[in-house]
Amino acid sequence: MATVGISATGETNGTQPTTTVDVLIIGAGPAGIMAAAWMARMGLKTRIIDKRNTKVFCGQADGLNARSLEMLDSLGFGDRAWKEANHMIENPDEYGIIRRSDRVPDTPVGLSRLQQSTLHQGRIERFFLDNIKKYSNDTIKVERGVLPESLEIDQSKVEDQNAYPVTVKLRFLTEEEAAPRQLGGSKVSDGLFRSNLFQEADEDALIRQTYGRAGTGETVHAKYVIGCDGARSWTRTTLGFELEGEATDMIWGVMDIIPFTDFPDIRCRCAIHSATHGSLMIIPRENNLVRLYIQLVEVKPDASGRADRTKITPDFIFNAAKKIIDPYKIDYEVCDWWTAYQIGQRVGTNFDAHQRVFLAGDAVHTHSPKAGQGMNISMQDCYNLGWKLGLVCRGIAQPNILKTYQSERRRIARDLIDFDNRFARLFSGRPAKDILDAEGVSMDEFKEAFVQGNMFACGLSVNYGPSNLVLKPGNAEDQGDGSAVAPPSVAMSEADFSRKQALATGIPVGMRFNSFQVLNQSSAQPWQFQQRLPADGRFRVVLFAGNIHSAQQKERIESFCAKLDAPGSFLHRSISGGDGGVCDGLHSVVEILTIHSAKRWDTELLRDFPEVLHPFRKATGWSYDKVYVDDVSYHEGFGDAYKNYGVDKERGCVVIVRPDQYVAWVGELEDFDEVQAYFEGCLVLKDYKNGVASSPVAVSSPEGPVATNGISMPVR
């Protein structure tokens, strides 16, 4: 058996139980629980383990950006996070000699309906765990105090979709072994046990301790493994992959305190940039807490690259903060949490092994905490991976889509490192004395970086490159990530692409679908359109139907719908099958949603729209939740969706949206063939007879399934 990555093997204690799972997730931080949330949604048999026996109750990452909130909302608990969080709407953006210069909104206006907000990681984890419990019917639980001991990939099986090529041996720790040690020596809980400044407990020693005890091991055979085990990732090391990049010598202290201060903007996110004592970043939090990121100019790492930890105490860190904020005064009684950090800017060489073991989050990219992206971007990694893995594992999508995980996410990680490098340099540089001072950092430069940083930081500048999941011109392999991504299934010239993109200027291909208000055609209920794009594993074709009452436009719509409803159409050949989860057996994995622009009062759902846009099923009747209108709401005003999406109100257009809300394609109603090609290029299309798949071969069946009442009933 060809294997990779064996570590810490030792004598075992008798026979060990052996189990199989679809997906094993190692690490239950933000990345791991996001992965588990998708798996729960997709109905996969999943286990998630973590070596620590407690979740993080305070500290760590302190907030969510707009895109992260949209993701939580798509999973069904955005409202919980939103209610509890401290929203950051205004943001005085920089200080010279502690002089307020101007204020900017924290999230650029109009980019997202959700603004960035702060809430600690422990709460966010709680929301996730509740959600996972709900959707997995309590079958996916975080197993704590569990350490992986070895990981092997049987390369002879990686092409076989039914095989379990990955074998992971697990060891169970006792309460005591799994408890994180508090190294800081103070009464306040600290995060030093996870900080990169110090060595961690010896995991091999912990594993050895378990050998003596009966029943403390298990062998798991998995189809897929996701390593979400943080900056010192065991999974990454075991696979022999590395992080590239230099650790810089910048050290930062972090404290969560309730401050007593005369500093006026303590409740706004801001940065203080002192002449000689380094920089300080202030982030207001819930319950009157404030997170301070404090640059520690007086400690430097030694020759081995490690800092002297005896020096790093809350008093030492706070004294540095006092110097920076001078002439204002600051003090505190309550400190909730503290830690110290050495900034390393690194990105992983590989994000997967054989598309069977994946790495996500801090395991593949680390960067300075004050750019504040760690948690957001770690969750976003798994938001990108989760549905792909789910659809492939269920045989709905082609395995080659898994390659886009690395091509899409590694580039984002690298962009972040580039941004972070620039930001960190600006942050720890000294202010320029005057315009001729080339070494110093000018305030203009700093301010510009801060504003740009906000754009980047709210997570909405992500723009994925061409692949079989995003149809745009260009070379799929040109994304500098080293993975051989399948090319777009429709070859497009730049000119073709610009023509198509011009049909929906506010819906850029490769970026996430923005949200504006539309109304339910049947009930007039207002919706943020993004709320109709929940994370349930479905692709969506959004038909901007335009003016349905124009005869000419009606003809275009009918012609598009006839092709959509033809037996060979992807719609009738992408039925998800399976059991439970959101992919319930009768639904196509592609949902068709319509937004039209005629007056709602003049329009009738059943009269004016072809059946395929509001399909009928005997058990549930017609679908009243698929057709929306861009019209004025009784209570909520006008969303002006066509205008905001940049779509022509007469002619409309068609948009393909991926399960993670990223835009895959934009085109005309006449371009049905391209829509078909898109799904042929990424899904496994099958033929069905009476709802049962007859063959996975790409030939069209003579007729679609028909309901006994004679109404043509697409199984959807």
Ligand X SMILES: *[C@@H]1O[C@H](CO)[C@@H](O)[C@H](O)[C@H]1NC(C)=O
Residues designated as active site: 62, 285, 293, 369
Rounded to the nearest 5 degrees, what angle is found at the Cα of 260, between the Cα atoms of 257 and 264? 105
- Told to check if 63 binds ligand X by CB under 6 A, we report yes
Site map (CB under 6 A) of ligand X, residues 613-652, x = contact: -----------xx---------------------------
- Residue tagged 């380094």 (tokens): 278
SS3 at position 507: coil
Site map (CB under 6 A) of ligand X, residues 456-475, x = contact: -xx-----------------
Site map (CB under 6 A) of ligand FAD, residues 30-49, x = contact: xxx----------------x
524-539 core/surface letters (b: 16 or more CB in 10 A; e: else): eebbbbbbbbbbbbbb
Between 4 and 58, name the residue whose CB sits nearer to ligand X: 58
- Residue tagged 């204690």 (tokens): 13
Smallest CA-to-CA distance from 613 within 587, 592, 628 is with 592
- Told to check if 129 binds ligand FAD by CB under 6 A, we report no
Looking at 174-182, 293-301, 373-381, 690-698, which segment touches ligand X (CB under 6 A)?
373-381
Is the CB of residue 291 less than 8 Å from the CB of residue 62? yes
702: cis peptide before it, omega within 30°? no
Looking at 78-86, 227-235, 310-318, 366-374, which segment touches ligand X (CB under 6 A)?
366-374
Quote the tokens at residue 7.
Answer: 């570590």
Quote the tokens at residue 563.
Answer: 């092709």
Member of 74, 136, 150, 378 binding ligand FAD (CB under 6 A): 378
Is the CB of residue 318 less than 8 Å from the CB of residue 169? no
624 alpha-carbon distance from chain centroid? 30
Between 111 and 225, name the residue whose CB sits nearer to ligand X: 111
Between 86 and 442, name the residue whose CB sits nearer to ligand X: 86
Distance set, CA 308 to CA 190, 367, 488 (Å): 17, 21, 52
Member of 61, 158, 545, 675 binding ligand FAD (CB under 6 A): 61
The DSSP H or E segment spanning 557 is helix 551-564
Between 62 and 660, name the residue whose CB sits nearer to ligand FAD: 62
Where in 219-278 is the site for ligand FAD (CB under 6 A)? Answer: 228-230, 234, 254
- Told to check if 60 binds ligand FAD by CB under 6 A, we report yes
- Told to check if 518 binds ligand X by CB under 6 A, we report no
- CB under 5 to 8 A by kind: which of ligand X, ligand FAD, none does 457 bind? ligand X
Residues 6+ apart with CB under 8 A from 345: 245, 246, 247, 248, 366, 367, 368, 417, 420, 421, 424
Minimal distance, residue 685 CB to ligand X, in Å: 28
- CB under 5 to 8 A by kind: which of ligand X, ligand FAD, none does 137 bind? ligand X
Where in 195-224 is the site for ligand FAD (CB under 6 A)? Answer: 203
- CB under 5 to 8 A by kind: which of ligand FAD, ligand X, none does 705 bind? none
Member of 304, 310, 523, 709 binding ligand X (CB under 6 A): 523
- CB under 5 to 8 A by kind: which of ligand FAD, ligand X, none does 358 bind? none
Kindly give the pairing relationship between strand 687-689 and strand 692-695.
antiparallel
- CB under 5 to 8 A by kind: which of ligand X, ligand FAD, none does 254 bind? ligand FAD
291-319 core/surface letters (b: 16 or more CB in 10 A; e: else): bbbbbbbebebeeeeebebeebbbebbbb
Between 357 and 627, name the residue whose CB sits nearer to ligand FAD: 357
Quote the CA–CA distance of 141 and 163 in Å, as a whole number.
Answer: 24
Interaction site with ligand FAD (CB under 6 A): 26-32, 49-52, 60-62, 147-148, 191, 194, 203, 228-230, 234, 254, 339, 341, 361-363, 369, 372-376, 378
